[in-house]
Structure 1
Amino acid sequence: MQDVIELTRELIARPSVTPDDAGCQALIAERLGNAGFRIEHLPFGPVKNLWAAHGSGSPVFVFLGHTDVVPTGPVEAWASDPFVPSIRDGKLYGRGAADMKGSVAAFVLALEEFVAAHPQHRGTVAVLLTSDEEGDAIDGVRRVVEHFRASGQHIDYCLTGEPSSKEKLGDLLRVGRRGTLSGTLTVRGIQGHVAYPEKARNPIHQAMPALAELCGRRWDEGFPREGEALFPPTSFQISNIHAGTGANNVIPGACEVVFNFRYNPGWRAAELEREVHAALDRHGLEYSIAWHRGGEPFLTGEGALRRAAREVMIARCGVVPDENTGGGTSDARFIAPMGAEVVEMGPINASIHKVDEHVALDELQRLPAIYREIVEKLLT
C-alpha cells in the first residue's frame, strides 16, 4: 500500500487552504477517470467540487471528503514545512495528513481496487469532494446537494473519512452529529462619557444579565425529546464579545456578541432562535441578531451501512468501535437529509488542526482495504 502514502504526499504538497483546492481534485479526477469513473466538476463561486462515479442505478454508495485544509499557523513552529510532506518515526507529517488528505487518498485507492476487482458491481460507487469543508461550507457540499436534488441524484450510503478515531484506528464509528446554529448579536446602547453614565446607555452592562441567563441554562432540561440520550447535551457557547472605541473613558454605543449552539435532535434551529429572542426581550434589550443555520442534527440508526462498517472495523482493526454522535460538525450533515445512511470513520484525530499534524503510516496503509471491504459488503 505504498501508493496510498505517495498519493497522500502529493496531496499534502498542494497548499489547499480553504477554499483553494490547489489542484488536488484535478489530480484525483485524472486517476479516477483512468479507472473508468465518470467525472463531473461542480464549481460554485470560488469553491471546487468533484463528483466521480462508476456503475449505475441503486444502491448508491458515496465516499465523502474534502481537499481543503485549515491554515498552518506560524510556519516556524512546525518541525518541518507543513506543505512539504515529511516522514519521521513512522508518521507522515504535513497539513492535512489526518484531516483529511490521508482518507481522501485511501478513498481513491479503495475505489480503483474495487472497480478493478468488480467491474460489473451492482449499483453505483462514487466519491464527492469539496474545497469548502473547513470554511463557511456554503458553496461546497451544501450547494452540491441542492444540485443533486434538482437533478434527481440520490444517495443511499455515505461514508466520510473525517478523522474520528481516538487512540487506535477503528475505535470509533461516528453515527450522527449535533446540529449547529450560530448568531451574531448586536446590542445597541447610547455612547457617552464614563463619568456621566446617566446620559448614556451601556450596551455591555445591559447584555450581561441576558447572556448570563443563556449561558447558565441547561437547554435540554424539562424537554424530554427523542434521541436526546444518544447525543451530548445541547450547548450554548459565546466565542467572542467586542465593544468599545479604544478609549477607556467612553461608554460604547454598541456591543457585538458571537455565539454558537450545538444541539441534539430534540431541538430545531427555529426553536432555539425563538428561545434566544424571548430571553433578550425579557431583559428589554434593543438588539438585532444575524443568524446562520449550519445544519440540523442527524442520526443513522442500525442499518446496512452501520452493520457493514462495524463488521469490517472489528475484523480489520481488532477493536469493537464506540458508536457515538460526539464531536463537531462535518459535511455529512448535508447528506443525511437526503435520506442516506451516513457514518464517519477515519484516522486518529489527536493532531488535527494542530502544529505538526500527522498520520501514522501503518494506519494510512490499512485504510484503503477497510474502505474497499465496506463497499464490497454493500455493492457485491
Structure 2
Amino acid sequence: MTLTDPTQTLAALIRCPSVTPDEGGALTTLSAMLAELGFTNDRVTFSDTGTPDVDNLYSRLGTEGPHLMFAGHTDVVPVGDAGAWTQDPFAAEIINGEMYGRGAVDMKGGIACFVSALARLIARRGAPAGSVSLLITGDEEGPSINGTEKLLAHATAKGEHWDAALVGEPTNPDQLGDMIKIGRRGSLSGVLTVEGVQGHVAYPHLADNPLRGMLTLAKALMQPPLDAGNERFPPSNLEVTSIDTGNPSSNVIPARATARFNIRFNDIWTADSLAAELRGRLERAAGENGLRQGRDPVRYSIEFSDRPSPSFVTRDTALIEALSAAVLEATGRSSSLSTTGGTSDARFIKNYCPVVEFGLVGKTMHMVDERVALTDLEGLTTIYEVFLERWFDSVRTG
C-alpha cells in the first residue's frame, strides 16, 4: 500500500468493520500506517459503568512545538439493511469514480486524506518543523463517554499540549470547499412531565387531562423565540421531539403526559442560563387556564440532561486563515465560516486548544450506499497538505 494515495489508505480503513463500539481492526490498521511515517503510537482502552469498553489511539510525530492535532474517529454507524446496499458496505468497491463503504465520508475518508497528506509532505520536504498528533477515538458514533474526552485527559496527564486542532468531520454540504466549521451550537435536552388525574372521557369534570396542561407548557417553551441569533450564530431553536401518555385507550383520560425536547443554542446562552429561562417560562405559564378553566395551576416537573454540550466559537486567526487559504488555493473557492450543524468532538477539544473542522462532502453520511468521489479524496488530501505547510510556516514566523 502506498500511503501517499488516499484511495488506498481509505480502502484499507473501510475494510475494517469498525461499527461502534467495535474496533474492527481500524485502529490497528491506522497505527501501522502512522508507524511507517515515524509516529509513536499510544493505544488505550477506556471503560465506564454501563457503557462498552472503547479502544482509542493517540499518535505523535515530533517532540517540539508548534504542535498541531488532527482529531477524528474510526467507528462507524451500523449499515442498516445490508440488502439495500448496491455494494458490500465493507468492501471499498469503486464504481463510476466513487468509493462505496460505511465510513467513506463519516469519517474514515478524512483520516485517510490526512495520512496521505502527511505522507506527501514528508516525501516532498520532510516532517514538519514541530509536531503532529492524531487523536482518534472509537466512540464518536456511540455515547461519547469512553472516547475523545478521556483520551484528551489521558494525553494531557502525560504532558501533551497542543497549539491548534483540526477535526476531519465532513463539513461541506454540496462541494469540497463550501464550509469550514469554526464553532458549534450547544445542545441541551430535557424531559417535561405534566401530572393529571386519570378518568373516563365521559366525565371530564372528575379527571384532569394532562395533555391540556402539556399543550400550554409546550407552547411556552417554544414561544416567544429564545433569541434572534448574532453575527456568529443563527437563532437558538427548541424542538419538541415527542409527547407521550403511554395510553392505548381512546376513552380514558391519561394520568400523565411526558414531552421530550432538545435545544440547539448559540453563545448568547449557557446551559445553566438556558435552563433558568425555560424554568421561568414554565412557572409563568403553569397558571394559565385557557385550556383548563377553573383548574389549579398545572402540576409539572422538568429534568435536563446532565451532559449538555456548550456552544463555542474559535477566533484563532492563524488557524482559520491557514485553512481558508489552503482551500482557496486547492479549489478556488472561498469557504464560508460556519457554526451550523450538530455537535462533534470539537466540543471537547476546544477546552485544550483552538479548533476548526473541515472534511469531505457529507451528503451520503449514515446513508445506504455511503460513498465518496475519488476526486474529492484527492482534493481533500491536497487541501490538508497545503494547510499543514501553511500553518507550520505561519506559526513559526508569526
Equivalent residue for 1:162, pick from 129, 150, 169:
169
Tell me the residue number matched to 2:360: 347
C-alpha separation in 2, matches of 1:310 and 1:333? 21
Contact 2:186-2:312 within 8 A present in 1 as well: yes
C-alpha separation in 2, matches of 1:171 and 1:254? 47
Spell out, residue by residue over 1:60-89, the C-alpha distance to the aligned partner (whole angstroms, 9 max, x if none).
Answer: 101111111222232233222323322222
C-alpha separation in 2, matches of 1:130 and 1:292? 22
C-alpha separation in 2, matches of 1:97 and 1:55? 29
For 1:96, the aligned partner's letter is G
Tell me the residue number matched to 1:231: 233
- 2:64 aligned with 1:62, yes or no? no
C-alpha separation in 2, matches of 1:198 and 1:19? 52
Q: Structure 1 residues 153, 252: closer, same or farther in 2, change over 3 A?
A: farther
Quick check: 94-103 or 118-127, which moved more? 118-127
TM superposition shift of 1:359: 0.7
TM superposition shift of 1:215: 1.8
Tell me the residue number matched to 1:379: 392
Tell me the residue number matched to 1:37: 39
Q: Where does the alignment leave 5 or more consecutive residues of structure 1 unmatched?
A: none
Tell me the residue number matched to 2:143: 136
Structure 2 length-normalised TM? 0.87
Percentage of identical aligned residues: 39
Contact 1:241-1:258 within 8 A present in 2 as well: yes
- 2:205 aligned with 1:198, yes or no? yes
C-alpha separation in 2, matches of 1:74 and 1:120? 43
TM superposition shift of 1:335: 0.8
Tell me the residue number matched to 2:100: 93
Tell me the residue number matched to 2:11: 9
Tell me the residue number matched to 1:188: 195
SS at match of 1:310: helix
Contact 2:17-2:25 within 8 A present in 1 as well: no
Q: Structure 1 residues 155, 295: closer, same or farther in 2, change over 3 A?
A: farther
Spell out, residue by residue over 1:132-169, the C-alpha distance to the aligned partner (whole angstroms, 9 max, x if none).
Answer: 21222222112223334544432211111111123221
Tell me the residue number matched to 2:307: 293
Equivalent residue for 1:358, pick from 371, 379, 382:
371
C-alpha separation in 1, matches of 2:149 and 2:193? 28
Contact 1:313-1:320 within 8 A present in 2 as well: yes
Spell out, residue by residue over 1:330-372, the C-alpha distance to the aligned partner (whole angstroms, 9 max, x if none).
Answer: 111111122x221111111111222222111111123223212
SS at match of 1:286: strand
Quick check: 69-78 or 122-131, which moved more? 69-78
C-alpha separation in 1, matches of 2:63 and 2:124? 17
Quick check: 272-281 or 286-295, which moved more? 286-295
TM superposition shift of 1:312: 0.9
Contact 1:179-1:294 within 8 A present in 2 as well: yes
C-alpha separation in 1, matches of 2:137 and 2:143? 12
- 2:245 aligned with 1:243, yes or no? yes
Equivalent residue for 1:332, pick from 346, 358, 366:
346
SS at match of 1:230: coil
C-alpha separation in 1, matches of 2:178 and 2:258? 41
TM superposition shift of 1:52: 0.5
TM superposition shift of 1:249: 2.5
SS at match of 1:102: helix
- Give the ranges of 4+ consecutive aligned residues of structure 1 lying more than 6 Å apart after TM superposition: none
C-alpha separation in 2, matches of 1:333 and 1:189? 39
- 2:60 aligned with 1:47, yes or no? no
SS at match of 1:295: coil
- 2:105 aligned with 1:103, yes or no? no
TM superposition shift of 1:5: 1.2
TM superposition shift of 1:43: 1.8
Spell out, residue by residue over 1:96-121, the C-alpha distance to the aligned partner (whole angstroms, 9 max, x if none).
Answer: 11111111111222233444555563
- 2:328 aligned with 1:321, yes or no? no
Larger radius of gyration: 2
Contact 1:141-1:331 within 8 A present in 2 as well: yes
For 1:172, the aligned partner's letter is M
C-alpha separation in 2, matches of 1:286 and 1:171? 45
C-alpha separation in 2, matches of 1:69 and 1:256? 32
- How many residue pairs align between the two structures? 374
Contact 2:121-2:385 within 8 A present in 1 as well: yes
C-alpha separation in 2, matches of 1:264 and 1:209? 25
